[in-house]
A and B are shown apart, each in its own frame.
Chain A
Amino acid sequence: MAEAQSNPDALPAVVADGVVKQFGRLAALRGVSAQFAAGRLYVILGDNGAGKTTLLRTLAGLAQPTRGTISILGTTSVRSVCTQIGYMAHPSLLYDEMSGMENLRYFAGLYGIEDDRTANDRCREVIASVKLDPELERPVGQYSQGMRQRMSLARALLNDPKLLLLDEPFSNVDSRSAQEMAVLLAQMRDRGKTLFVVTHQPGLLEDVADEFVRMDAGKIVNRNAKLRVASQ
Chain B
Amino acid sequence: MSFFGITRATLAKDVRLEWRSKDAINAMLFFSLLVVVIFSFSFDPTAEESRRIAGGLVWVAFLFAAIVALNQTWARELRNQVLDAYRVSPAPANALFLAKALGNFIFVTVLEALMTPLFIVFYKLRALGPTWELLPIAALGTWALVVNGTFFAAISLRTRSREIMLPLLLFPISIPALLGMVNATTAILTGEGSARFWIALLVAYDVVFTSACLLLFETVLEAE
A contact residues vs B (CB 8 Å cutoff): 23, 60-64, 79, 82-83, 85, 87, 89, 91-98, 102, 106-107, 109-114, 139, 155
- Identify which of residues 195-224 in chain B touch chain A, using a CB-to-CB cut-off of 8 Å: 224
Residues of chain A within 8 A (CB-CB) of B39 are none
Q: Say yes or no: A87 contacts B88, CB within 8 Å.
A: yes
Given the interface pairs A95-B13, A97-B21, the reply to whether A109 lies near B1 with Cβ below 8 Å is: yes
Please tell me if the beta carbons of A109 and B80 are within 8 angstroms of each other in the complex: no
Contact indicator A110/B80 (Cβ below 8 Å): no
- Assess whether A91 is in contact with B88, with CB atoms less than 8 Å apart: no
A89 to B78: give the CA distance in the assembly, Å: 13
Q: Would A112 and B1 count as touching, CB distance under 8 A? A: yes
Contact in complex: B5, A62 (CB < 8 Å): no
A60 vs B84: C-alpha distance when bound (angstroms): 10
Neighbour of A89 across the interface among B1, B13, B17, B84, CB < 8 A? B84
Interface of A is mostly: loop
Contacts A82-B90, A83-B90; is A93 near B9 (CB within 8 Å)? no
**Which chain B residues lie closer than 8 Å to A61 at the CB level?**
87-88
- CB of B81 closer than 8 Å to a CB of A: yes
Residues of chain B within 8 A (CB-CB) of A110 are 1, 6, 9, 86, 89-91
Q: Please give 15 more A-B residue pairs, beta carbons under 8 A apart, in addition to A62-B84, A82-B89.
A: A62-B88, A82-B90, A87-B85, A87-B88, A91-B80, A94-B80, A95-B13, A96-B80, A97-B21, A98-B17, A102-B16, A106-B13, A107-B85, A110-B90, A112-B1
Determine the distance from Cα of A94 to Cα of B80 in the docked complex, in whole angstroms: 6
The CA-CA distance from A23 to B158 in the complex, in Å, is 14
Indicate whether A91 sits within 8 Å of B1 (C-beta atoms), given known contacts A62-B88, A64-B224: no
**Per a CB cutoff under 8 Å, which of B20, B84, B90 touches A93?**
B84
Interface string of B77-121 (1 = CB under 8 A from A): 001111011111111000000000000000000000000000000
C-alpha gap A48/B12 in the complex (Å): 39
Supposing A82-B89, A95-B17, A97-B17 touch, asked if A106 and B81 sit within 8 A by C-beta, the answer is no
Contact B89 A93 (CB under 8 A): no
Chain B residue numbers with a CB within 8 Å of A79 are 90
- Closest residue to A112 on the B side, CB-wise? B1
Determine the residue in chain A with the shortest Cβ distance to B96: A110
Contact among A82, A97, A109 for B88, CB-based, below 8 A? A82
Q: Which 4 A/B pairs are nearest by Cβ-Cβ distance?
A: A93-B85, A110-B89, A110-B91, A109-B9
For residue B5, which residues in chain A have a CB less than 8 angstroms away from its CB?
Answer: 109, 114
19 A-B residue contacts at CB 8 Å? Answer: A61-B87, A61-B88, A79-B90, A82-B89, A83-B90, A85-B88, A93-B80, A94-B85, A95-B13, A95-B76, A95-B80, A102-B16, A107-B85, A109-B6, A110-B9, A110-B89, A113-B1, A114-B1, A139-B20
> Whole-angstrom distance between the alpha carbons of A106 and B76 in the complex?
15
**Complexed CA–CA distance, A56 and B57 (Å):** 51
Residues of A within 8 A of B76 (CB): 95
Whole-angstrom distance between the Cβ of B220 and the nearest chain A Cβ: 15
Partner of B81, one of A23, A82, A89: A89
B89 in contact with A107 (CB, 8 Å)? yes
- Which residues of the other chain, B, contact A112 by a CB distance below 8 angstroms? 1, 90
- Please measure, in the bound complex, the distance between the C-alpha atom of A63 and the C-alpha atom of B87, giving whole angstroms: 11
